[in-house]
Amino acid sequence: MGPEEFVILGGSYAAIEIAQAARANGYDGVIRILTEETDYPYHRPPLSKAFLLSESGESGLPLKGEKYYVEQKIDIMFGKTATVLDTREGCVRLTDGQSIRFDKLALATGARARRLQLAGADLDGVVYLRSLPDARALKLALRESTEIVVIGGGFIGLEVASAAVQLGKSVTVLESQSDLLMRVVSKPVADFLREQHRRNGVSIRTGAKVSVIRGEKGRARQVLLEDGTAFGADLVVVGIGSLPNCELAEAAGLACQDGIVVDGFGQTSHPRVWAAGDCAYYAGPYTPWGMRLESVQNAMDQGRSAGAAVAGATKPYAAIPWFWSDQYKFKLQITGLSKGHTAFVERCEADGMSVYYFRDEICIAVDCINRPRDHMASRRLIPAGVLTRMRLEEVDYDLSALMRVHEPSHTNRQRGAAAVG
């Protein structure tokens, strides 16, 4: 009988962390990564930011060099798309007719861009951004276009708008909700970012519901709203959210709910299958209601827990969520999830701000713009359970002062207690 076979479907942060953690925790079987892409796993956040503005190549994008995979004995199979996951037989069937056997399997299949469902959505010049091939195509299209319409005022849409206007393009952002980033930040943060876009020449319309994209000779030329307003466009960038790639898991009978349901160790409803990253639905210390978290932090931390579990180690995923977005010279950094907050307090300065969210007088999240020290402090103090409204008021919301009071050793002990609780 040959060595145990561990197969990972997907080729991004979660996949690499799963493989790396499995090896680090003593897994000595075969590790095989199957990815649909033809590039080594790469950094994705720059694709909507610096990559679009850069004239340089792609040397800084790969997460690991080829040498790493050779040394760690991790086999990557490129251009492989799975069509069937057979947990009973322990194999994955591919579009090219191959059948890959596994003893253990991890799903790091990520998510895909949600597509527009309206007339004209299939015209040339209507594009999405999710992968490196998408970014390459968008980078070229931006340089060949003049009028850009961005549908969606979330992170992807605003980051692309920031890059496009810096390239000298005419940019309009259309958001169907009444404000930007409504599901993730407070109104003060949304207003701050909106003002920066206005100052840089981006036109933003909220409450803007797109009805049709009109074309000419098969290419998008105009975006029409339900109220009849029309916007000229020779490029339409769509950023309206994502959908989890969980069809394989569902067909195989795994529990799914807006993603593949996992526990704190990345375990799915099948004992030999794990999942992590954008495709995974998890109810944890910071997400008791259950949700998919789409962030690099989540993919990496959850992937480490899943990889350790594959190797037989128990390292539960209990890290606080954090996110970031770069727009112009401003870096938005978010610690925690503000969902369910009952109050917030903002502290503003000319070049940035911090917003503190409270539930039952406990700080559950902090949004920072150009306040890296506040962000790093909040990532330590919120898990420690010491960020109460009263303590923050006592130091006039100076997180550095609280950090000095709560020594690292004390903070670590508190964080461990919070994770166990």
pLDDT tens column, 365-403: 999 999 999 999 999 999 998 899 999 999 999 898 888
CA angle 408, 410, 414 (to 5 degrees): 115
In angstroms, rounded to a whole number, what is the distance separating the alpha carbons of residues 108 and 19? 11
Q: What was the pLDDT predicted at 419?
A: 33
Q: What was the pLDDT predicted at 178?
A: 95
Q: Residue 26: inside a domain, yes or no?
A: yes
Domain endpoint, select from 219, 240, 261: 240
- Same-domain status, 47 and 153: no
Q: What was the pLDDT predicted at 406?
A: 64
- Same-domain status, 136 and 236: yes
- Same-domain status, 176 and 88: no
The pTM score is: 0.92
- Same-domain status, 232 and 252: no
Q: What CATH number is given to the structural domain containing 414?
A: 3.30.390.30
Domain endpoint, select from 240, 274, 301: 240
Q: Which domain holds residue 143?
A: 126-240
Cα R_g (the chain), whole angstroms: 23
Would you give per-residue pLDDT tens digits along the chain (421 residues)?
678 999 999 999 999 999 999 999 999 999 999 999 999 999 999 999 999 999 877 888 999 999 999 999 999 999 999 999 999 999 999 999 999 999 999 999 999 999 999 999 999 999 999 999 999 999 999 999 999 999 999 999 999 999 999 999 999 999 999 999 998 999 999 999 999 999 999 999 999 999 999 999 999 999 999 999 999 999 999 999 999 999 999 999 999 999 999 999 999 999 999 999 999 999 999 999 999 999 999 999 999 999 999 999 999 999 999 999 999 999 999 999 999 999 999 998 878 999 999 999 999 999 999 999 999 999 999 999 889 999 999 999 989 888 877 654 444 444 433 332 2
Q: Residue 181: inside a domain, yes or no?
A: yes
- Same-domain status, 306 and 335: no
Q: Residue 318: inside a domain, yes or no?
A: no
In angstroms, rounded to a whole number, what is the distance separating the alpha carbons of residues 128 and 291? 24
Q: Residue 253: inside a domain, yes or no?
A: yes
- Same-domain status, 404 and 349: yes
352-359 β-sheet, strand order: 322-327, 330-336, 362-369, 352-359, 343-349
Q: What CATH number is given to the structural domain containing 132?
A: 3.50.50.60
Q: Measured on CA atoms in the order 243, 249, 252, 254, is the torsion positive or negative?
A: negative
Q: What was the pLDDT predicted at 421?
A: 27
Give the number of domains in the chain.
3
- Same-domain status, 105 and 158: no
Q: Measured on CA atoms in the order 355, 357, 358, 364, is the torsion positive or negative?
A: negative
- Same-domain status, 154 and 230: yes
Q: What are phi and psi of 419, to 5 degrees?
A: -65, -40
- Same-domain status, 223 and 302: no
